[in-house]
Amino acid sequence: MTDDSEGLQTRHLVLSYGRRRVIEDVSLSVEPGRLTIILGPNGCGKSTLLRALAGQIRPDAGAVLLAGRPLRHIGARALARRVGFLPQAPLAPEGITVSALVRLGRHPHRGPLSAWSAADRAACDRALAATGMSGLSAAPLDALSGGQRQRAWIAMSLAQETPTLLLDEPTTYLDLAHQIDVLETLHAMTRQGRTVLAVLHDLQLAARYADRLILLHEGRLKAEGTPAEVLTAARVEDVFGLPVRLLDDPETGRPLPIPRRRA
Ligand SMILES: Nc1ncnc2c1ncn2[C@@H]1O[C@H](COP(=O)(O)OP(=O)(O)OP(=O)(O)O)[C@@H](O)[C@H]1O
C-alpha cells in the first residue's frame, strides 16, 4: 500500500431526499487499497450512499470521513483531487469527443492557467489504453455504442488518477469480456495502493473480484466483510428474495451464488 491510500468511513449516516429517508444509520469502512463492491436490490440506496461518499449529498445526520477527516471540512477542489466519482448516468457536453472527455478528468489537477503537461497527456493515454479506447479517441461520444460510451466514461475517471475512485455500476452496457477487463483494471489499481469502491449488480463477478463487500437492504447496512463472510445463501435469499446455491468458484475458491429456478 502506498501513502496515497485513503480510507473512507461513514458514521451513523442518515440520508434523505426531502422528507423521504433513504439511508438509515449506516456506519461502515471502505478499506484503503482495496476493491470494495456495494451490493443490494434496486432502490435500496446504493447510489445515494455512493453520492454521499463522493461529497455530493449532505448527510441529514452522521458523517462521511476521508482518512479520518469529515468530508465537509475538505474543499471541493481538494476533494476532487482525492476522490473520483463516476455516477450512473453522467452528462457530457454535446458533441464532445472521447479524448476531450478523458482530458476533462485532468481538470482537478490543473490550475486555471497551467499548461497541459506531459503528465496529463500520459495519464489520458494510460486511461484510454486501459479501457481499450485509444482507437476511438477521436470519435464523438454520441456516435458510440452504449458500451463504448461507458468505457469512455471509465477512461475519464481513470485519467483523474485520484487515490480513491467511486464508480456507480461501471459495467452496465458492457459485454462480459469488457466487464472482466474493467474489474481487472480496478483490481490492479488497488494493487498499486488505490482505493476503489463500485456499485455492481452481478453477485458472481462481485464475489470473484471484491476484496470486500458491502450489502445494503432497505437503506440499512445488512453486512460487510469478505465475499465469504457476506454471501451466505440465507442472506442472499433474505435480501434479494432469491434462493441461491453457493458453489465454490473453481477459479478463486470463493462462494459463487447460483440462482435457483423459481419453478
Ligand atoms: N433525486 C432523487 N429524489 C428523490 N428520490 C430519489 C432520488 N434519487 C433516488 N431516490 C429514491 O431513493 C431510493 C434509493 O435510490 P438509489 O438510486 O440510491 O437506489 P439504488 O440502490 O442505487 O437503486 P438501483 O439499483 O435501482 O440503481 C429510491 O427509492 C429512489 O426512488
**Helix, strand, coil share (%) of the chain residues, nearest 5:** 35, 25, 35
CATH ID of 8-92+163-259, from 3.90.550.10, 3.40.50.300, 3.30.1330.40, 1.10.260.40: 3.40.50.300
219 lines ligand 1 (CB under 6 A): no
Ligand 1 atom closest to Cα of 41?
A: 25
- Check if the beta carbon of residue 7 is closer than 8 Å to that of residue 190: no
Cell of 57: 449529498
17 lines ligand 1 (CB under 6 A): yes
pLDDT digits (tens, 9 = 90+) for 214-248: 999 999 999 999 999 999 999 999 999 999 999 99
- Check if the beta carbon of residue 74 is closer than 8 Å to that of residue 52: no
**What pLDDT, on the 0 to 100 scale, is given for residue 141?**
96
3-state secondary structure of 88: coil
pLDDT over 80 (residue 176): yes
Q: How far is the CA of 63 from the centre of ligand 1 (A)?
A: 20
User: Dihedral (C-alpha) 96, 162, 145, 52: value to the nearest 10 degrees?
Assistant: -100
ipTM: 0.98
Domain-by-domain residue ranges, the chain?
A: 8-92+163-259
22 lines ligand 1 (CB under 6 A): yes
The residue among 163, 96, 98 whose CA lies nearest residue 124 is: 98
Ligand 1 atom closest to Cα of 199?
A: 22
**What pLDDT, on the 0 to 100 scale, is given for residue 113?**
67
Q: What percent of the chain has pLDDT over 90?
A: 88
| H/E run at residue 28 | strand 20-30
> With left for phi above 0 and alpha for psi between -120 and 50, is residue 18 left, alpha or beta?
left
Least confident of 114-118, 176-180, 200-204: 114-118
pLDDT over 70 (residue 99): yes
Q: How far apart are CA 22 and CA 43, in angstroms?
A: 9
Cell of 55: 461529497
37 lines ligand 1 (CB under 6 A): no
Model-wide pTM > 0.90:
yes
44 lines ligand 1 (CB under 6 A): yes
